[in-house]
Structure formats: structure tokens, C-alpha cells
Amino acid sequence: MTAGSPPPKIVVEKLSVQYDDGTESLRNISLTIPANQITVLFGPAGGGKSTLLRALNRLNDLVEGVRMTGKIYLDGEDITGPDMDVVSLRRRVGMVFAQPAPLPMTIRQNVTYGLELAGVRHAGQKELAMEKALRQAALWDEVNDRLEAPAAALSGGQQQRLCLARVLALEPEVVLLDEPTSGLDPISTGKVEESLHEIKREYTIVIVPHSVQQGARIADYAAFFLQGELVEYGLGREVFIAPKNRRTDDYVTGRFG
């Protein structure tokens, strides 16, 4: 980061991720993710973007045969150590996946379920948190008159925004998104992108976009990954418009990938 940059929220130091078969998904990655900004991780498939995203809240722990070296710090706290409370970490660092997976419940219950698990019992508190989260996910105006309807009745784009609201209801510090608009129509995609620009005032956002064009539209900061290597990292407008590395330029301009 340069002078005048936002303070770091996450610092990744010399992170490598390997599988038992010898495959290396990430190789010696060092990266500083600023607070209250949208950081885009982009590059061809197999570059390690999703692996890094999952490392930020220890989801790789759930995959057999994964070995990780290096450190990740969240507000200066090492989250890679054996003493880390992983359940608490995943509340602080929430994740939305590419395929929407609403719970088999009502729209209301989908948003409040996590709050109840977290010990929130007061009905008024849950209602306020639910409305705030649905508004932040740009969904409130579309569903506020049918909160008792099953979430499965929503369109794909609405279901994805509901999953975002479910994460936001817990007020995490960081929101991770792995191609959250890959299956959405342009209107729904636009609504999600608008929401991200609004909610970054409260949250730090790290996203794997579904296209270079989306990355260029939303990135405050951008990191280009290629075959497990971090090739280039910097301000989004610089990485996408005037990249310093030839490989980044080739990818952004469509010469490969």
C-alpha cells in the first residue's frame, strides 16, 4: 500500500497451498487487502483465486489433503494458527458462493436463521437486522410484502441476493464472494454490483468476478492470478487500464484466457 491508502484489513504473507497429489494451487502469495474497499481477484480458471478466497475464512480446512504454509492476518490477528476459533472467524468473514443456496425456509427465516444461531432472540432486533440486510442486498423492495413465502419461489437473481442478505445480517467485517453473479441476468447482476458499492462503506469486500469486464467495473483494487502466482496487484483502474505486467495486459485485452 502507498501513503494515503486505506488501512489494511487483511494481510497475506507468503501463502502457499498444496494438495496431496503435489498440485500447487497458490505459490508464495503476499497481498494486503484494504479495509472498506472492493478487492477483485481475477485471472484464468485454475489460477488459485477461489483457493485464496477460501483461505481467508479457513474453508480449505474442510477439504482433505490440503496443506497450507504462510500467514494470514485479520486486523493484525493471525487466523491460520491452531488456536483460532474458526466458527467465530467465519462469522467475521462471511462468504457467498457462485450458486445460490437458500435454506428450505421462508424468505424471513433465511435471513434470521443465522441470527438465531448466533443467540439473537429479541424479535424486534431480528426484524431490524433482517430489513437492513435485505435493503443492503437490494432485495427489500421486491420481497417486503411476501416475507413468509418460500425462498425457493424467488428467481435465481433474487435467491443470490437473499444469500448475500443472509451473510450481511450477521454484520461480518469481511464479505467474500466467489463469482456471485455468474448465473444471473444483466439486471440482477447490476443490482448486485450497485449493492457492493453501497455496502463497502461498512464492509471489506473481496470478490472473484465472473468476467474481466465486471472486475473492471467494480474494482477499487485488483489482483491478477495466473497458475497459482500473483502476477500483478494495484489500484483497479491501473491494473485494468494500464497494467504494468505484459501477462496482465494480454489477459485484460483478451489475447489469452
pLDDT, tens digit (0-9, with 9 covering 90-100), for 130-184:
999 999 998 999 999 999 999 999 998 899 999 999 999 999 999 999 999 888 8
* pLDDT above 70 (res 77): yes
Q: What average pLDDT is seen over the chain?
A: 92
How far is residue 213's CA from residue 182's CA, in Å, rounded to a whole number? 12
Provide the pLDDT for residue 1: 54
Provide the pLDDT for residue 188: 85
Beta-strand pair 174-178/204-208 = parallel
Provide the pLDDT for residue 256: 73
* pLDDT above 80 (res 257): no
Provide the pLDDT for residue 92: 95
Whole-structure pTM value: 0.92
Q: What would the pLDDT profile of 96-133 be if each residue is shown by its tens digit?
A: 998 889 999 999 999 999 888 888 888 899 999 999 99
> Domain 8-252 belongs to what topology?
Rossmann fold (3.40.50)
Q: Considering only 32-36, 59-63, 201-205, which range has the smallest mean pLDDT?
A: 59-63
Q: Check: CB of residue 226 under 8 Å from CB of residue 246.
A: no
Q: What would the pLDDT profile of 90-103 be if each residue is shown by its tens digit?
A: 999 999 998 889 99
Cβ within 8 Å of residue 209, ≥6 positions away? 40, 42, 179, 181, 215, 218
How far is residue 248's CA from residue 256's CA, in Å, rounded to a whole number? 10
* pLDDT above 80 (res 2): no
How far is residue 132's CA from residue 103's CA, in Å, rounded to a whole number? 19
* pLDDT above 70 (res 4): no
Nearest alpha-carbon partner for 26 in 10, 9, 41? 41
Provide the pLDDT for residue 64: 85
* pLDDT above 90 (res 70): yes
How far is residue 141's CA from residue 225's CA, in Å, rounded to a whole number? 38
Provide the pLDDT for residue 17: 94
For 121-155, give one letter per residue: b (16+ CB within 10 A) or e.
eeeeebeebbbbbbbbbbbbebbeeebeeebeebe
Question: Stretch 228-254: mean pLDDT, rounded?
Answer: 96
* Total count of residues recorded for the chain: 257
pLDDT band at 208 (very low <50, low <70, confident <90, very high): very high
Provide the pLDDT for residue 184: 84
How far is residue 212's CA from residue 116's CA, in Å, rounded to a whole number? 38
* pLDDT above 80 (res 3): no
- What are the boundaries of each domain within the chain? 8-252
* pLDDT above 60 (res 24): yes
